[in-house]
Structure 1
Amino acid sequence: MWGDQFPADRAVDGNIDQWRSHEHCALPDRGQGTNAWWQVDLGGIFDILRVEIYSGNNRCKPGYFGGQCQFKSQCRNSKTSNDVTGHCPSGCPDDRWGVGCILNINNYYNDPKGTSYMGKLTHTTHNSGLQPYNVSCIPWIKQKRYYTFPDGGRAEAVNYCRNPSDSPYAWCYRNFKYNYAYCILDSMNCVTGRFDVNCVKECHCSGGTEDCQKKNGGCQTECAPHFNGDTCQGKHIVDIYFGVA
């Protein structure tokens, strides 16, 4: 009855953060309606003086995700993303990639060489000095050299621009003689409220109103309530309370 994303034991994990997208709340599976119930085994006999119930904040409206629903996803076919993680079950449009499909395929994010780039750019844009290249990439699975791709294997990398060799830029083969050319993409900062390579992490600065450092997530003032650590990614456990969302 209780889902994997919001398991029942989070009702007594000691954290009263009420934002459901921070994943501290317990929440029954959709469809339970008024039939949902919850119980706890305290492991002994105790005098219960009081029970405090904290109602979780509503889920993000369709198409938004994040700790305070501040990010708008851009899923394929305008489908709805997961309101906590931003995952798009329908995948990303060809011109988008990353968490919630919020990244542009023509850009790296906090990744100067593009070694973690997983966008779907499929043509080269490098000028060799002799002639400009603007040709389609051939599938990686056609080449026999061993490379490690951020997507997984050669099949998953399809014919997208990648940098499996720690070259100065992402690149791809442009013909079956294995001549290659670079795919010049722009190195960009993350959108407001996100940081790290490919913008995979969410900022948790004071009150959620301050933006963090784009590379390391550091806050100029302090972490938001219930978060700690140099990058404010640690979850602070407060005194034990009951908190069923």
Structure 2
Amino acid sequence: MAKTSSSHYALKFHRTSTWTMFLVYVILLVSLPDSSQEDCHCQNGCTDFPGSPCPGTTCQPDWFGSYCQKRNIARGKSTSQSSELQGYGGPFPSDKAVDGSTDQTLQHGSCTHTGDTTSTGAWWRVDINTTLEIRRMRIYLRRQNTDRNMGLQVNVSDQLCYTLSADNRQQTVLNIDCGEALNGSSVKISVNGPYLTLCEVQIFQCSNGWFGDDCDKQCQCQNTTEVCDKETGNCRGGCAAGKHGPGCQQECNDGWFGSYCNKQCQCLTASEACNKETGHCSSGCAAGKQGPGCRQDCGQHHYGVNCSSTCGQCSGTSDCEKDDGTCTQGCQQGYSPPLCKMCAVHFYGPPCQGCGHCKDDSPCSVLNGTCLTGCKPGYEPPLCITACIPGRYGENCLHTCGHCQINGSCNAQTGRCERNCQPGYMGPLCIQECADYTYGINCSSVCSCLNQSEVCDKITGDCRTGHQSTTTAAAGASAAHQGQGYDDIRLIVVSCLLAISCVYAVITTATIYRIRRSMKILKAEQMQQYSTLQVRGESSVYDVIAERSVYANESIQRHGDQDPNKN
């Protein structure tokens, strides 16, 4: 029972401790300062800091400027002076000039005062304890006896910063600018006379990350941990992205971005002004570009908008143009420029490979390589790549080889048998049977049957009636060949005689025609001459013509009465 109770309390204690640790963690988390507000010194809140000046320009103690980033670094520092006035409501120690009060009435006890009447040069000094760049100060002088301030000088360490002119000797609040930042660890104020009264001395310096006369400009350094020059804003490591110019205060021009604004955007929409810090393009990168600011070329074998396209089959190891994908060194075999993605003429795919042996060298289908016009002789459809199988030939392998001697195969294009025909066949294609009375390979053998009129087997030469003896067969063959030779000679002679007879008949007919025509013309001429004569016997010419006429008629009559067949 005791053991059970102990376990119960232990568990309860464990739970209580866990909740306690959780509450402590939450409290610590809530109590952590907001990093975005830790550099704000506005008195009335930092809601819009650092986007806008402090409301009412009211700053926390020792902070000044519209953004409350100008700090008085002299406040509370170690001071000294040449002497101290005694009496007159004193004391007037040197630290009264850095107590934070700007009351300029000596009797109110907030001013210093030297009192060595034997001294010809009174002075006051504040030590900063570290070497800084000092340029701007504000000095509150006593309202009375301003003539004592004639020749007042301000030095940063041993460097002259300011001299009060005679024209300004009546001023009691001096806003001092050294003209340039002076490196020093102390500030000394002196006059030529024995009396120097200072009611407050403020030495200003911008907080880290701010610069300018009023410390109202933020540093814009590329290295966010760098403290820019508190006078010029210059960043040794370069300006932040999107900034350039003096103090890195100018935004990049449209179309440019990055540190020093030296990077040009490459947006898809040419008129777009990219993000001046990152170079991001809302419309996307221009063709061929990628990465921050769209300044990187597409990777190898990629191109186009967002580098989303793949290069084609460029020649060798060359890459394509990053904007449009053009293969600058040409395509691999079989591909068509400029992108080298489509197959060239007489190729198909992908991958692009050569067409087969299409008829008339016509292109094949770019999709599957089919020869649309058919194949050249010797190749099988549809691709026309495979040669005809043995025993086939011609276009699309449609024809069967003849009776070739070697395995029945022929030339796949022409169908011609590579060697001899099988016995019983002849001709280049070996499809013509042997002529009667011949047989064997190329029909080169003559039958030798006992019955000479018998047609033997054209393959083997076998005869049903049996074969003649070798001598008889040879004689028969010789006689047959000799008789066949005589018949050929007689045929040639008869043909020649017939040709000669035809030529003779044509010549004879033409001659007779010309003779008859000439006679008709002659007779006509004679009759014309005869008609001009008056009477017979008046002229000897009449008798001659008449006799010639009679003779001609008789001659023609005799020729017409002859029978040509009798000759």
**TM-score strictly above 0.5:** no
More strand by share: 2
Higher gyration radius (CA):
2
More helix by share: 2
TM-score range, shorter chain: 0.3 to 0.5
Taking structure 2 as the reference length, the TM-score comes to 0.21
> Which has the bigger relative contact order, CA under 8 A and spacing at least 6?
1
Taking structure 1 as the reference length, the TM-score comes to 0.41
